[in-house]
Chains A and B, each alone.
Chain A
Amino acid sequence: MKFLVESLMRRPVTEKPPAADDAALVELGRCLDAVAHRRLGRSLAIREVDAGSCNGCELEIHALNNAYYDLERFGLRFVASPRHADVLMVTGPATRNMREALERTLAATPDPKWVVAVGDCAFDGGVFAGSYAICGGVDAVIAVDLHIKGCPPSPRALLEGLIALIEKSA
């Protein structure tokens, strides 16, 4: 009861959204067309796939759901199945052991779909580049539409990238 009253009295802790990241907007311009905008509007369902990360990126992706960043207010939400997803958000260097699982997750995602690679490892393998156990960045296995760099990218950087994604798809 006390919690309920407090919650009614308090202002939300959610913060103002950051502006879309310019570089991300340019990269996205290539991949989002009018058809996709018409079909999906401003709402995107995201399926997160860890293809080999150290779990640092997962921690910051989780943070997107906390009250400060509140991802869902932008029409972006995480879904449990690739069959419900418009976007695959992939972290980690793509390990060889995860290659087939990543390919099959993409195949299970209906069109139109986009792949967002999150983190330095997902870009080019990061500190794990050159290992016998990894394929490289995510685009060594599946085509990537947007890279959000950082080790790990902060929730703010993730938001900037994702807002760019919906602005282009709206």
Chain B
Amino acid sequence: MSLRAALHDAALEVFDLRPWPRIRVDEETWIRAVFGLHTGDVGLTALWGEPGTVHMGLIEEETGEVLVLSLDCPDGHFPSVGVTHAPALRLERTIREMVGLVPDGCPDDRPWLDHSRWGLRHPLGAAEPVPAEGAPYAFLGAEGPPMHQIPVGPVHAGIIEPGHFRFTANGETVVRLEERLGWVHKGIEGLMIGAEVERAARIAARVSGDATVAWSLAFARAVEAAADITVPKRAEWLRAVMAEMERVANHLGDFGAICNDAAFSQMLSRCGQLRERVLRTAEAAFGHRLMMDRVVPGGTAVDLADPRPIAEMVAAVRAGFAPLIQLYDNTVSLLDRTVTTGRLDPALARVWRPGGHVGRACGRRFDSRRLPGYPPYDALRFDVPVRETGDVDGRVWIRIDEIGESLKMIDQLLAGMPGGPHRVEAPTTGADGREGAALTEAFRGDAFLWLRLDGDGRIARAHLRDASVFQWPLLEAAIAYNIVADFPLLNKSFNCSYSGHDL
């Protein structure tokens, strides 16, 4: 029997979560799951809290089956997961400061998103006012006579989001990078509490602007699961067109930007033109360049009147991108910067389970479009590209290959587009406490969203976990013993979301 099945058998109570089970467990079963994470029998997909209860989302990678364990914490404590499973560390720090539950044994008790600037503490628990005076942060040490520190941010030199990077270097070589994030924390989960579905959908669409379609899709699918809404087939196919266009646009932007960080600006210019073509097509087809607020619970906000501009865009991008692949592959000065740079250890990737290009460049096959899977991807033919090198070059090639796969998918989606309505008007009112969850594949990896509806159909509680959550810490590992000057290149090859992480 698999560990997931064994854990499920130990359920004290089964809750109304769809499409996967959520069960109440005792402390012994919780600890058994923690050991299971350590041995790799299950993977961690989310860890979050609400007043009095902590939740652990587990995934069995071979089957894509998800199981959520819930442990009641009457005394406000729970056994730490991070003590033996490092990917849980920042999640536990977040639970402690947001909800006030204490992870017993967690080796890191520093605050994470809470910079002592909000004027209150435990905003998702029993919130109470505290002075907003800021607080010093104890960075981890790296000692020795030749070491020097380079503090970077939160305001960076480029047009990017804010975050702080503390490098400790020996000459040019990075010995340690420590990230400090949380600067763009907007209180998204707090805003979700009590929000009408329409308002919450607009917030979900702004978790990370570059992945707005994927996050809207995760939100819509979770609401539809909770409220038992069946969306029309056409909506599912239209959503996939948008999701794949979003993936192509982002990968084009990243590919150009990575090359630009190696001072090869021609690629940025040419990819920028192709990206612009995708965005203009999105505006013509769906009425918004980034397709924001176009995926909504019940279907899509707009129908696709004329698919021809999208088909023309696909042909144009395919034709325009092919010579750029050749250019990348034949430019030795560029490859000199990307090959072997910022290599991520596959052993770390196995433990942290990073999604998207970070994982796939490191041998991981996980893709939530395949497993657990969601329509219409079961009706599409596509490959999930995997590489083994784990370096910047590997992440570039994953993007190149995924652009090709997404273009192929858009062709299939347009050719087989079902007719009928693109949306159903379905109320979300019903019993109090219905829950839904979804995993969707954003361009940077899987996005997890869980929510609970109240009787009036509003959001009672929600949790969102961006792919960046498990990728950011790996950036720290991948830069170690590389030179400082390669950091922009490496950072861009990860392209983690600050906003999606900070919420």
Whole-angstrom distance from the CB of A113 to the nearest CB of chain B?
Answer: 15
Whole-angstrom distance from the CB of A34 to the nearest CB of chain B?
Answer: 31
- Residues of A near B134 (CB, < 8 A) are 100
Q: Are the C-beta atoms of A63 and B162 separated by less than 8 Å?
A: no
Whole-angstrom distance from the CB of A128 to the nearest CB of chain B?
Answer: 5
- Residues of B near A57 (CB, < 8 A) are 209
Q: Is A74 an interface residue (CB 8 A)?
A: no
CA gap between A75 and B212 in the complex, in Å:
32
CA gap between A134 and B191 in the complex, in Å:
11
**Would you give the 0/1 interface string for A62-96, flagging 1 where the beta carbon is closer than 8 Å to chain B?**
11011110000000001011100000000011011
- Residues of A near B327 (CB, < 8 A) are 3
Whole-angstrom distance from the CB of A26 to the nearest CB of chain B?
Answer: 27
Q: A80-B158, A133-B185 are in contact. Are A67 and B279 (CB under 8 A)?
A: no
CA gap between A131 and B127 in the complex, in Å:
13
Q: Are the C-beta atoms of B183 and A66 separated by less than 8 Å?
A: no
Whole-angstrom distance from the CB of B311 to the nearest CB of chain A?
Answer: 21
Which residue of A3, A52, A65, A93 has the most chain B CB atoms within 10 A of its CB atom? A52
Q: Is A130 an interface residue (CB 8 A)?
A: yes
Q: Are the C-beta atoms of A95 and B183 separated by less than 8 Å?
A: yes
Q: A52-B186, A54-B499 are in contact. Are A66 and B119 (CB under 8 A)?
A: no
Q: Is B210 an interface residue (CB 8 A)?
A: yes
Taking CB as reference atom, which chain B residue is nearest A79?
B157
Taking CB as reference atom, which chain B residue is nearest A130?
B191
CA gap between A99 and B118 in the complex, in Å:
11
Other-chain contact of B159, A66, A78, A81 (Cβ < 8 Å): A78
- Secondary structure dominating the interface of B: loop
Q: Is A13 an interface residue (CB 8 A)?
A: yes
Taking CB as reference atom, which chain B residue is nearest A126?
B206
Q: Are the C-beta atoms of A105 and B272 separated by less than 8 Å?
A: no
Q: Are the C-beta atoms of A56 and B162 separated by less than 8 Å?
A: no
- Residues of B near A133 (CB, < 8 A) are 118, 123, 185-187, 190
CA gap between A54 and B363 in the complex, in Å:
30
CA gap between A134 and B190 in the complex, in Å:
12
Q: Are the C-beta atoms of B273 and A105 separated by less than 8 Å?
A: no
Q: Are the C-beta atoms of A92 and B160 separated by less than 8 Å?
A: no
Which residue of A13, A62, A127, A133 has the most chain B CB atoms within 10 A of its CB atom? A133
Q: Is B298 an interface residue (CB 8 A)?
A: no
Whole-angstrom distance from the CB of B499 to the nearest CB of chain A?
Answer: 5
The interface on chain B, measured as residues whose beta carbon lies within 8 A of the other chain's beta carbons, has a size of: 53
Q: Are the C-beta atoms of B187 and A128 separated by less than 8 Å?
A: yes
Q: Is B80 an interface residue (CB 8 A)?
A: no
Q: A55-B209, A59-B210, A127-B203 are in contact. Are A97 and B183 (CB under 8 A)?
A: yes
Q: Is B443 an interface residue (CB 8 A)?
A: no
In chain B, positions 278-314 with a C-beta closer than 8 Å to chain A are 279, 283, 289-290, 292
In chain A, positions 133-166 with a C-beta closer than 8 Å to chain B are 133-134, 151-152, 154
Whole-angstrom distance from the CB of A12 to the nearest CB of chain B?
Answer: 11
- Residues of A near B497 (CB, < 8 A) are 55
Whole-angstrom distance from the CB of A123 to the nearest CB of chain B?
Answer: 14
Q: Are the C-beta atoms of A132 and B120 separated by less than 8 Å?
A: yes
Q: Is A21 an interface residue (CB 8 A)?
A: no
CA gap between A57 and B499 in the complex, in Å:
12
Which residue of B159, B183, B190 has the most chain A CB atoms within 10 A of its CB atom? B159
Q: A56-B212, A127-B202 are in contact. Are A68 and B191 (CB under 8 A)?
A: no
**Would you give the 0/1 interface string for A109-136, flagging 1 where the beta carbon is closer than 8 Å to chain B?**
0000000000001000011101111100
Q: Are the C-beta atoms of B117 and A55 separated by less than 8 Å?
A: no
CA gap between A101 and B161 in the complex, in Å:
13
Q: Are the C-beta atoms of B276 and A95 separated by less than 8 Å?
A: no
- Residues of B near A134 (CB, < 8 A) are 186-187
Q: Are the C-beta atoms of A95 and B186 separated by less than 8 Å?
A: yes
The interface on chain A, measured as residues whose beta carbon lies within 8 A of the other chain's beta carbons, has a size of: 49
Taking CB as reference atom, which chain A residue is nearest B200?
A127
Q: Is B322 an interface residue (CB 8 A)?
A: no
- Residues of B near A55 (CB, < 8 A) are 161, 208-210, 497-499
Q: Are the C-beta atoms of A93 and B186 separated by less than 8 Å?
A: yes
CA gap between A132 and B130 in the complex, in Å:
12
- Residues of B near A80 (CB, < 8 A) are 157-158
Other-chain contact of A99, B117, B159, B161, B203 (Cβ < 8 Å): B117
- Residues of A near B191 (CB, < 8 A) are 127-128, 130-131
Other-chain contact of B292, A56, A95, A97 (Cβ < 8 Å): A56
Q: Is B350 an interface residue (CB 8 A)?
A: no
Q: Is A170 an interface residue (CB 8 A)?
A: no
Q: Are the C-beta atoms of A54 and B183 separated by less than 8 Å?
A: no
- Residues of B near A128 (CB, < 8 A) are 186-188, 191, 203, 206
CA gap between A162 and B155 in the complex, in Å:
22
CA gap between A53 and B155 in the complex, in Å:
13
Q: Are the C-beta atoms of B276 and A60 separated by less than 8 Å?
A: no
CA gap between A58 and B185 in the complex, in Å:
17
Q: Are the C-beta atoms of A56 and B209 separated by less than 8 Å?
A: yes
CA gap between A99 and B183 in the complex, in Å:
9
Q: Are the C-beta atoms of B269 and A50 separated by less than 8 Å?
A: no
Other-chain contact of A58, B127, B161, B206, B275 (Cβ < 8 Å): B161
Q: Is A49 an interface residue (CB 8 A)?
A: yes
List, sorted by A's number, 17 A–B pairs whose CB atoms are closer than 8 Å. Answer: A3-B323, A49-B155, A50-B160, A50-B161, A51-B162, A54-B212, A55-B161, A55-B497, A95-B184, A97-B185, A101-B155, A127-B199, A130-B191, A132-B118, A132-B123, A133-B190, A151-B292
Excluding A50-B160, A52-B186, A133-B123, 8 further A-B contacts by CB distance (< 8 Å) are A52-B184, A54-B207, A56-B212, A66-B272, A92-B184, A98-B183, A127-B206, A133-B185
Q: Which residues of B contact A (CB under 8 A)?
A: 113, 115, 117-120, 123, 127, 132, 134, 154-155, 157-162, 182-188, 190-191, 199, 202-203, 206-210, 212, 253, 266, 269, 272-273, 275-276, 279, 283, 289-290, 292, 323, 327, 497-499
